[in-house]
Structure 1
Amino acid sequence: MLVLLTGCGSQETTKKPVIYLYPKSQQTVSVKLAYRGKLTCTYPEYNDGWKVKAQPDGTLTNISDNREYSYLYWEGVSNNKWDMSKGFVIKGNETEKFLQEELKYLGLTPKEYNEFIVYWLPLMKDNNYNLITFAGKEYEDLAKLNISPKPDSMLRIMMVFKPLDKSIDVKKQELRPFIRKGFTVVEWGGTEIK
């Protein structure tokens, strides 16, 4: 069985990246996204960037509509080819436990990793296996964030997964835990390779 360990060929959707902002005190924050692709949905509306009043608990008030939001959301399509030569092959019915453990290890809070799992688990749990990679610099180059004032710490988790019929051997990806300090930005999202 041949499994390509790069994903793409056609356009892939970067699904539900959400951006949480946690300043040390209430602060007006500007967020700009330079995405090598086409944005298909944003909430609140992106326009030429987001400008929000951010609270230490992560609550955001969008300056343009004066409404409250839990996070900034975007989706887009790109022709990026994901490197999946390192990662994890997880049985579909073990995906929930894997995500709980790894997302916690990577630095997400229970609220953050629960929101991630609620979105992604229905797309993964019934697969025989999932090849899962957490993209790092590759994702940061695809979707650059410019945040002002500059955060003290930033965690960006982009899970790329491919459903598999059978298990394959893949080199285990080394993950590093994240330490929050000062004004912290957290982003998570994912892409399914079909």
Structure 2
Amino acid sequence: MNKLIKAFLTCTIIFLAGCNLFPEKSKKPVIYLYPEKTTEVDVKVNLDGTFTTTYPKYNDGWKVVAEPDGTLHALDNKDSYYCLFWEGVVNYTPDFSTGFVVEGFKTEVFLEEVLTKLGLNDRERNEFIIYWLPYMQENAYNLISFQNENYTGHAELDISPKPDTVIRVMMAWKPLQESTTIQPQQLDSVERKGFTVVEWGGTEYK
């Protein structure tokens, strides 16, 4: 290969690798609605990115009737759901300036404790762990950081009527072969009051 062409291709690859042209995919964000009484609710996700999957189908938002126990009913048919689901490519880079380094076999216990503190109930916590644990438990270590405004600013929730409590748990993580030192992340407990909305999801960063 001509040396000039080879040098050009090498520089191009380096340039593209530094441009974040491959945004992270947020996997399985699910949204639960718990109004204090049966309520018609309009939910929109203002996504800085692209949806790849939604269920039920996202038609410029979701319009549902929500029950206090979390059961959701579609307005245009008799279908019922327990959550709203989406996946998508989001234009953000996970922040690992603070977080936790957890041995793979200790991931289950770690998630149980942290998700409880963050305000997830038994069902939400169980579903989170059932989904993510198979990807994490066999790794030597997992670097885990829960994203705040870094994520929510790129996937804003617009809900009407406005909820009293919103809990959003977006876990960014990546497998490690060896342990590393990181500043511990400070996590605040959340008390559920009134009309409560819960969302959880994750991003594996590679």
Q: TM-score range by the shorter chain?
A: over 0.9
Match of 1:162 among 171, 174, 194: 174
Which residue of 64, 74, 80 corresponds with 2:76? 64
Runs of 4+ in structure 1 deviating by more than 2 angstroms, as ranges, are: 8-11
Unaligned runs of 5+ in 2: 1-19
1:37 aligned residue: 49
Aligned residue pair count:
187
SS at match of 2:153: helix
1:174 aligns with 2:174: no
1:105 is aligned to 2:105: no
Equivalent residue letter for 1:174: Q
| Distance in 2 of aligned mates of 1:161 and 1:63 | 37
Bigger share in helix: 2
Instruction: Give how far 1:142 is off.
Output: 1.0
The answer for the alignment partner of 2:165 in structure 1 is 153
1:9: Cα distance to partner? 6.2
| 8 Å CA contact retained: 2:92, 2:150 | no
Q: Aligned residues: percent identity?
A: 54
Which structure 1 residue ranges, 5 or more long, are not aligned?
1-7
User: How large is the Cα RMSD of the aligned pairs?
Assistant: 1.0
Letter in 1 for 2:183: K
Q: Which of the pair has more CA radius of gyration?
A: 2
Q: Is the 8 A contact 1:53 1:62 kept in 2?
A: yes
**Hey, what does 1:78 align to over in structure 2?**
90
Partner of 2:126 in structure 1? 114
The TM-score normalised by the length of structure 1 is 0.94
Q: Is the 8 A contact 1:9 1:79 kept in 2?
A: no
Q: Secondary structure at the match of 1:154?
A: strand
Aligned: 1:186 with 2:198: yes
Q: Which residue is 1:20 aligned to?
A: 32
- Write 1 or 2 for the structure with the bigger share of strand: 1
Structure 2 contact 91–154 (Cα < 8 Å) conserved? no
User: Which digits, 9 at most, give the CA deviation of each residue in 1:70-96, with x for residues without a partner?
Assistant: 100000013311111100000011000
Distance 2:87 2:29 in 1: 6
**Could you tell me whether the CA contact under 8 Å between 1:162 and 1:192 is conserved in 2?**
yes
Q: Which residue of 2 aligns with 1:54?
A: 66
1:65, distance to aligned residue in structure 2 (A): 3.4
Structure 1 residue 62 displacement after superposition: 1.5
